Structure 1
Amino acid sequence: MKLVSGRRGTPAAQTRRKAGQKGPGRPEGTSVVRDDILDAAEELFSNLGYAGTTLREIADQAKVTQALINYYFGSKYGLYEAVFMRRSQIISQQRLENLAQLQAKPGRPKVRDVVQAFLMPTLAFRSTPEGRSFLRLQARLHTEPPQISYKLRTDAYGNSTRLYVEAVRKALPNLPELDAYWRVTLMVGTYLYAFSDTHRMEEMAPAGLYDPDDTDSLIDQVTRFVTGGMQAP
């Protein structure tokens, strides 16, 4: 099975229209300005959190006015929502595509295949600075106040995550339903920590032992750890 790994998650800065090109019903250059605001907000929100980031800081980094930010997004929360949903929806859709590939195969899915189908779309975001900013933002979302985090998390991932719980139960038919929910939740926690540049391994491992850019080793370690946890008695 060829898993979808997030190529359509290429940062907007690499895929946006060139200045001067017009989209349907858009004035010249407006899509570029909007993406510039999203990129600046993503970096600042990921490093400083929602409360710690001001619209003034975002406007300064994007080289626009605060009025223009409000024009496009309505409010600080509206901007935060747009930043998060821009990439999280891509991840969720790719997870669904991966799961559909697994389900199209005869027989019971393997636990390792279910785990990798879930992880791979997110892993691809580590290949660019913009993608890494999003992964930090996503990890930080879990520490934001409930009125900010719950709805965004549910809107972005609620449906796809429930379908993965069902997939885990098909792969492990004797696993109780509550255990399946716990293990998928713990899988989420594991990848959020491992993929979001916590630099813990650089601090713990002897110099030269760990390469933070070795993506193959990262996905292998996380997959083996999560698969083992899924299959635990």
Structure 2
Amino acid sequence: MGSAQKSSDLKTWTKRSRPGRPEGIGDNSSERILDAAELVFAETGYAGASLRNVASKAAVTQALINYYFGSKYGLYEAVFIRRGRSISDDRMTRLEELKKRKQPVTVNDVVRAFLAPTIALRAVPGGRTFLRLQARLHTEPAEISYKLRNEAYDASTRAYVEYFKEICPQLSDKDINWRVALMVGAYMYAFSDTHRLEQLAPNVCNPNDSEEIFEQITAFVTAGLLAPPVHPV
């Protein structure tokens, strides 16, 4: 039997061996499940979420969730990676554009490129829900959070660290890694709708204004990155 025939037979066997889809599946069922799960995980965290609750919000059966995602963790992973990888890809695209620019690139430019894909989510349906889910990720068990965070963001974050090293030669590796980590912590808090500013400074700060948030955090992070070295090179 030729290799092409073997490959065809294997595909046919795999397709036939897969459990049949539950009845009543709409074309957008998987997206409805992801949207519902995003909301549930953002509200309750991983431990507090149940597939029953997700199924109810998505108006599907638990069997259909298991068909698409295999398990609760499989669903959580799909929810997080769906937007997380998009953020990371956008960051890399923006970074490559900066590297190709003829005029000098400033720290402010790089900070904006890093933060822009995330702040843009606030204008996307479900985007704010994801930002709350993302902020919760750091309170999830390490066996869940580390894997997903690394899968979604590790490559792009490391690329920005390396570029900051290039344009901030006065800073040590330790200083840059600390400051990038603090940038991540600051934007997660600022973008996740904690409503703290509404209590601290009512009628002064508007945390619902994405442009105001973006400008304030960009200025704050840029100043932090440009602060005098703590560990001189």
Q: TM-score range by the shorter chain?
A: 0.7 to 0.9
Number of residue-to-residue matches in the alignment: 206
Residues 196-211 of structure 1: pairs in structure 2 closer than 5 A = 196-205=192-201, 207-211=202-206
Query: For 1:189, what is the secondary structure of its paired residue?
Result: helix
Deviation at 1:210, TM superposition (A): 2.1
Task: Report the structure number with the largest CA radius of gyration.
Answer: 2
Q: TM-score, normalized by length of structure 2?
A: 0.85
Structure 2 Cα separation of the partners of residues 96 and 128 of structure 1: 20
- In structure 1, stretches of 5+ residues that fail to align are 1-26
Query: What is the RMSD of the two structures over their aligned residues, measured on CA atoms?
Result: 1.5
Q: Give the fraction of aligned pairs with identical amino acids, expressed as a percent.
A: 55
Q: Is the 8 A contact 1:108 1:170 kept in 2?
A: no
1:132 has 2:159 as partner: no
1:195 maps to what in 2? 191
1:214 maps to what in 2? 209
Quick one: which of 194, 213, 228 aligns to 2:223? 228
Deviation at 1:107, TM superposition (A): 6.0
The higher-RCO structure (CA 8 Å, 6+ apart) is 1
Deviation at 1:167, TM superposition (A): 1.2
2:148 maps to what in 1? 152
Q: Is the 8 A contact 1:108 1:171 kept in 2?
A: no
- In structure 2, stretches of 5+ residues that fail to align are 1-22, 229-233
Q: TM-score, normalized by length of structure 1?
A: 0.85
Deviation at 1:178, TM superposition (A): 1.3
Q: Residues 155-214 of structure 1: CA distance to partner in whole angstroms, max 9, x if unpaired?
A: 000000000001111121111011111111100000000000011100100x32222321
Q: Is the 8 A contact 1:135 1:196 kept in 2?
A: yes
Quick one: which of 49, 70, 73 aligns to 2:69? 73
Structure 1 Cα separation of the partners of residues 151 and 174 of structure 2: 22
Question: 1:155/1:31 Cα in 2 relative to 1: closer, same or farther (>3 Å)?
Answer: farther
